[in-house]
Chains A and B, each alone.
Chain A
Amino acid sequence: MKIEKQYKINIIVPFVTMADIAFLLLIFLIISSSTQKTPLLKLSLPESNQFDRIKKTGNVEIFVTPDNEVVYNKKKCDLGELRSILLPGKQCVISADKETDFKIIYKIIELLKENNYENLSFAVKRQTGVFSGK
């Protein structure tokens, strides 16, 4: 006696979902590219419970590493070079490691004043809980 197998497996790939997957990947790439501006710098920002939100656009960004190296436009430079290449602007964000010497930051502030910058933001990490100055 011969028993026939009659069930069939439908192997069609649902193309309807492909558009969704492509859309999700696109969103992921947009978000990840906008959040990682300086992937090579590992800065440990100081904590503060007094903070404002930094605007995402129109800022000139200066980074200072714990070794007191200044990074501007993804290039390491000294203060003399920074003076010559600093673009004019209104607001600047300084993202410096908490172990950076403040005298370097002070020199950058003086430079910003010379270049008629109006607002300066010191990037900090949010501190939760009660005020505790270290």
Chain B
Amino acid sequence: MKLKNNFKLNTNIPASAQSDIAFLLIIFFIVTAIFFERTGIIFKLPEKSGKTLKLTAREFIEIKAYNDFLIINKEKIDYSEIYVVLEAMKRATKRNIAIVYFSDDLKYEKFINIFQAVKKAGDIKISIKPLDKK
């Protein structure tokens, strides 16, 4: 008697599923591309030919920036308090111009902390100067 093996092994890869995988990967790439988006604090620079304002001490908020602390209008504060102090000072004095004098060794990160507080307080124009040119 002759025995026959009649079952067939189907080794084809299901091609119809490939398009689904491709589609899912495209969605993944699109989503991750949004996560890679760059963020920054944006400021408008003054015009080169812009006029210089002459201000009295009562018209602006004076910030002296050091690596360990800040002096805002002669009041020594910590970096963690900057937003609260700036916001309170802006409300109380109605001043919306801040002049930041920075120390020679000030780190960029510290200045970004001041920038974000100024940005958060809103509607404050900022001028930057080195402390030794005060």
Which residues of A are in contact with B by a Cβ distance under 8 Å? 1-12, 14, 16-17, 20, 23-24, 27-28, 31, 35, 46-54, 56, 64, 93, 96-103, 105-106, 109, 112-114, 116-126, 131-134
Contact = CB atoms under 8 A, between A and B. Distances in A.
A52 B105 CA distance: 28
A16 B16 CA distance: 9
Contact of B107 (A50, A53, A101, A124): A101
Contacts of A16: 15, 18
B115 A122 contact: yes
A134 B80 contact: yes
Given A102-B106, A105-B108, A134 B113 contact: yes
B102 A112 contact: no
A97 B108 contact: yes
A122 B112 contact: yes
Contacts, number: 171
Contacts of A64: 108
B134 interface: no
A126 B119 CA distance: 15
Contacts of A24: 22, 25-26
B6 interface: yes
A120 B42 contact: yes
